[in-house]
Amino acid sequence: REGDQAAWAALVERFQRLVYTVPRRMGLGEADAADVFQHVFSRLFESLARIEDPARIRAWLVTTARRESLRLVGEQARVVAVAGAPEGDDAY
């Protein structure tokens, strides 16, 4: 919270495996898992002042990673559905 870069690096290092594991267990590939990771830690950085209990950071990270992963899974499902749709007027 005080802008200590070493503390931030230690926080990221401590929880990086946990955050990366959530999207991988949900079936997302490495690139998507990396996107989730980046989004989660970006949101954490923005939300640090609002997190009152530091002991809750782990739960916050897991919840945020799960939500972001679900969002990506949903986006991919929509893309697959649209990509698999029949083309042309004769499809109807």
CA–CA distance, 72 with 24 (Å, rounded to integer): 12
**pLDDT confidence tier of residue 6, bands split at 50, 70 and 90:** very high
CA–CA distance, 53 with 59 (Å, rounded to integer): 11
| Residue in 14, 13, 9, 19 with CA at minimum distance from that of residue 61 | 19
**pLDDT tens-digit readout, 60-87:** 999 999 999 999 988 877 655 555 556 5
Predicted pLDDT at 83: 54
| DSSP designation for 13 | H
**pLDDT tens-digit readout, 26-61:** 999 999 999 999 999 999 999 988 888 889 999 999
Predicted pLDDT at 92: 47
| Residue in 5, 4, 14 with CA at minimum distance from that of residue 57 | 14
